[in-house]
Structure formats: C-alpha cells, structure tokens
A and B are shown apart, each in its own frame.
Chain A
Amino acid sequence: MTRPDPAPLAAAADWCAGLAAVLADVAGQAGRLAARIADDWSDDHGREWAERAALLRRELSRDALAATELATDLARRSADASLTGAPTTDPPTTGAGALSAPVAGSTRPTGARLGGTDADRVDEERGMRIAQLADGPG
C-alpha cells in the first residue's frame, strides 16, 4: 500500500478552489447572459439559446459547489498525508502472516486494516485490546 504524497493533493485542492471561484463567477454571468438573450433575441432560436444558457448557469453553479467540496476534501487528505510523514511504500508481503509480524521501525499507517481482493492475509488480531492485570502470586 502506498501512502499518498501530500504535495499533489495540496496542488489539486488549490486548483479546485480556484476552479470553484471561476465557476461561480461564470455561472452568474451566464445567468445574466441568458436573461439578455431572452430580451434581445426573441425568436425560437433565441428562446432555445436563452434556455440553454440558463441550464448552463444551473449546471455551473452545481459544479462550483462540487468543486468547493472537493477542494475541502483534498485539502483535508493532504493535511492527513502530511501528518503521517513522507510518502512511503509498505514492505511487500511474502506469505501468510507476513503482515501480522511486527516490523522494526515500521512505517505502516495506524488504524483498522481491511481485507482486500488480493488474497493476502491481513492481521490476525481483531477488535480492541483490553489492558489486563498480571496474575497475582498463588
């Protein structure tokens, strides 16, 4: 498993934030353009194009919101990747139980590990570990 590099995620987040601003601006201008076309082009073609411009405004507004949400998500993922350190690749698995063995200086991410479709074994331990007191003498 490859840990994500925060830099491309941050660049993508910046691009999405800029895109959201441009889309919102263009959407507003497309809406005003649709109204002007309806006023100044009063035949069937004009009405059709005014409707298409109004539809474009709605689509661009939705895309602006989607771009804002994606920018937030990408920025969060970038921040998460930064917190976990430089991008690394996990050691390859070589057989059953290889992943469950502790690795000295392990760089594996923490948290739950889910099974994949590659038929590799994952950690045998399940659930949380509860602290226990050592057995007393006698």
Chain B
Amino acid sequence: MRPEVHLRPDRLLVHAGVADGLSEALQEVLRGHGRFVADEELDRLHTAVRRAVRELGELGAALTTAAVSADRADTDASLAIRRALS
C-alpha cells in the first residue's frame, strides 16, 4: 500500500452495507417476477437485473474485505508505534 493511500474502514463498511442493500432491493423485484408472458425484452431485463444483483454483491464483499484489511493494517500500525514508544 502506498503511503499516500488512506482507507476509511468504518466508511467502507457503511458502503458495503449500501451495496448489499441495493442488491437485496433488486433481488426483491426478481422474487415478484412470474413467467407472465414470453417476451425477449422481458427476459433480457430479467438477466440484466440478475447480473446487477451479482455485481452489487461482489462490490459489497470487496468493500468488506478492504475494510477488514484496512482495519487490520491500522491495528498493526498502532501496535508497532506503541512498541516503538515503550
């Protein structure tokens, strides 16, 4: 990680929650979808929403992973500083 890079674990976790919430909102719409009529555009939209659900899920997971990593890095750094000062 470059020295000028600053990650905000707390905020990344909030963003992860937002991404998961958006994914859930789209999933909810899909759950209400029945096979009403055979329509190519309807199928295309259905596929597009499923893809968006996956993308938002992956985004949420990536944000959570980044937040955990950044939090661990913060903890390690503060421990190192305390050791150096003691």
Pairing of A with B: yes
- Tell whether A23 pairs with B49 under 8 Å between CB atoms, given A33-B18, A49-B63: yes
User: Which parts of A5-24 form the interface with B (CB within 8 Å)?
Assistant: 8-9, 11-12, 15-16, 18-19, 22-23
Least CB distance from A63 to B in Å reads 5
- Tell whether A16 pairs with B6 under 8 Å between CB atoms, given A22-B29, A23-B49: no
CB-nearest residue of chain A relative to B22? A26
A15–B6 CB distance below 8 A: no
Complex interface: chain B residues within 8 A of A25 (CB): 25
A40–B48 CB distance below 8 A: no
A40–B45 CB distance below 8 A: no
Least CB distance from A13 to B in Å reads 9
CB-nearest residue of chain A relative to B51? A59
Q: Mark B26-51, 1 if CB is under 8 A from A, else 0.
A: 10110011101101011011001100
Q: Which of the segments A66-74, A87-95, A110-118, A125-133 contacts the partner chain?
A: A66-74
Interface size class of A (residues with CB under 8 A): 35 or more
B11–A36 CB distance below 8 A: yes
- Tell whether A63 pairs with B36 under 8 Å between CB atoms, given A26-B25, A40-B8: no
Partner of B45, one of A26, A42, A63: A63
A45–B25 CB distance below 8 A: no
Chain B's interface: helix, strand, loop or mixed, by majority? helix
Complex interface: chain B residues within 8 A of A99 (CB): none
* Cα-based distance from A22 to B22 in the complex (angstroms): 9
Asked if B81 lies at the interface with its beta carbon under 8 angstroms from chain A, I say no
Complex interface: chain A residues within 8 A of B32 (CB): 15, 18
A-B contact pairs, 6 of them (CB 8 A): A8-B36, A15-B36, A23-B49, A36-B11, A40-B8, A46-B7
- Using a CB–CB cutoff of 8 Å, the interface residues on chain A facing chain B are 4, 8-9, 11-12, 15-16, 18-19, 22-23, 25-26, 29-30, 33, 36-37, 40-43, 45-46, 49, 52-53, 56, 59-60, 63, 66-67, 70, 74
Told that A8-B36, A12-B39 touch, could you supply 9 new A-B pairs with CB distance under 8 A? Answer: A12-B36, A15-B32, A15-B36, A22-B28, A23-B49, A40-B12, A42-B4, A56-B55, A74-B39
